Amino acid sequence: MKKRKGHMTTTSASQPNHPWLVLIGLALGVTVTNGFARFAYGLLLPAMKSEMGWNYAQAGWLNTANAIGYIVGAVATMILIHRASPSRLFAFGLLATTLSLLATGLYAALWWQTLWRVLAGVFGAMSFSTAGALTAQLFRDDPKRNALAIAILFGSGGGFGIVLAGAALPLMLGTFGYGSWPFGWVMIGATSLLFLPLGLWAARQLHAPRQADSKAPPLPIRRILPELAGYAGFGLGYIVYLTFLSAWMTEQSASAGFIALVWVILGLCISASPIVWRPILARYASGLPLAMILTGIAIGSALPVILPNGPALLISAVVFGLSVFMAPGAVTNFSRQNLPPESWGTAISFFTVVFAVAQTIGPYAAGWVGDLSGNIGTSLLVAAGILLIGAAFALLQKPLEQ
């Protein structure tokens, strides 16, 4: 496969002295902004729903509120990336997300929870979307290692957070009762504080150019519509599983230990997913990687409902985990392979906006379907169908002209 020569030139910024340590710092940022800020709520949802007397739509609302904040953060990043470096945006977003997580556990009122879920979304999107642009600067002369770095960022970063939260939160709730859920948020925020120094250091090691520093061509929106549509399907569908999995397992009378086991396996598989997907991400500049990933997420989402037993749940966690966090890696790699370096930040931010708008609909709509049908498992099946539609769109994406 040929590469556009103009698109694969390096920027003037030098490589950091310790690129793998920089990658670890950036990945720990994703642990905070995605593994904790986005997905730990799914583990605490059964307790919060029970303690507050919420229905599924109300429980889904807090993740929708987080997704609304994510839209604001993604749009703000698209604007600010013309005025501030990705490094500064990443660092500010990481610090502010950490403080938002700590604040979430300080007061139980719904308005307070909504406020900090929104702010965690705003700042998390800012850090998450710039993390991809920063990581794309690593190993610029080695496409295979570059693809591995991008895959590790999104896979291992988020997966590590889910392993930690999955191992601790269900057992904490099982031991101390559902009333202990505020302490769960404090634990998450405190852990984020531990990761903060390395993440801030990593951001200072990379100097990706501001969009204003270069004369990047406008994004070819019409030519990347299939990839955008596939990524929108990802946003609509993936969040249902991660929001309501624990609630569905609780309805099936799963023990706290088994819930923890499923989430730990899920997180471990997310962390291992870069190894599985690296060759595919490095080889294809088309929408095929995203289509394959969305198909895996769909299968993982549907399995618990089609085969509602322990072994099927474990298989579901494996399949879903090996796929879910590679979707951002797929669009980041697509941008890197098809666009000039000066456009990477804007392109990834634009993909993030599309994703953010789509995922806003998912949690509340899934909760509404669950209330209407009396079974949140129905929402998991609907999400699987949406993911497969997204995969079909992604398959239509061809590489841009070489």
For residue range 177-196, what is the model confidence (pLDDT) as tens digits? 999 999 999 999 999 999 99
Give the pLDDT band of residue 9 (cuts 50, 70, 90).
very low
Q: Which CATH superfamily is domain 18-212+221-395 in?
A: MFS general substrate transporter like domains (1.20.1250.20)
pLDDT tens track for 70-103: 889 988 988 888 888 889 999 999 999 999 999 9
Looking at residue 216, its pLDDT comes to 62
Full DSSP string of 108-155:
--HHHHHHHHHHHHHHHHHHHHHHHHHHTTTTTT-HHHHHHHHHHHHH
Calculate mean pLDDT across residues 253-279.
88
Residue 69: C-alpha distances to residues 74, 124, 353 (Å): 9, 9, 11
Contact (CB, 8 A) for 194 and 101 = no
Looking at residue 136, its pLDDT comes to 80
Q: How far apart are CA 161 and CA 36, in angstroms?
A: 6
Residues 6+ apart with CB under 8 A from 244: 42, 45, 56, 60, 366, 367, 370, 376, 379, 380
Q: Which of 133-147, 227-241, 283-297 bottoms out in mean pLDDT, i.e. has the lowest?
A: 133-147
List the structure tokens of 252.
Answer: 């099936």
Looking at residue 209, its pLDDT comes to 56
Looking at residue 92, its pLDDT comes to 95
Calculate mean pLDDT across residues 99-125.
92
Calculate mean pLDDT across residues 193-210.
85
Looking at residue 3, its pLDDT comes to 43
Contact (CB, 8 A) for 296 and 317 = no
Looking at residue 110, its pLDDT comes to 84
Which range, 63-72, 132-141, 366-375, has the best average confidence (pLDDT)?
Answer: 63-72
Give the pLDDT band of residue 7 (cuts 50, 70, 90).
very low
Neighbours of 181 (CB within 10 A): 24
Contact (CB, 8 A) for 305 and 381 = yes
Residue 394 has pLDDT above 90, yes or no: yes
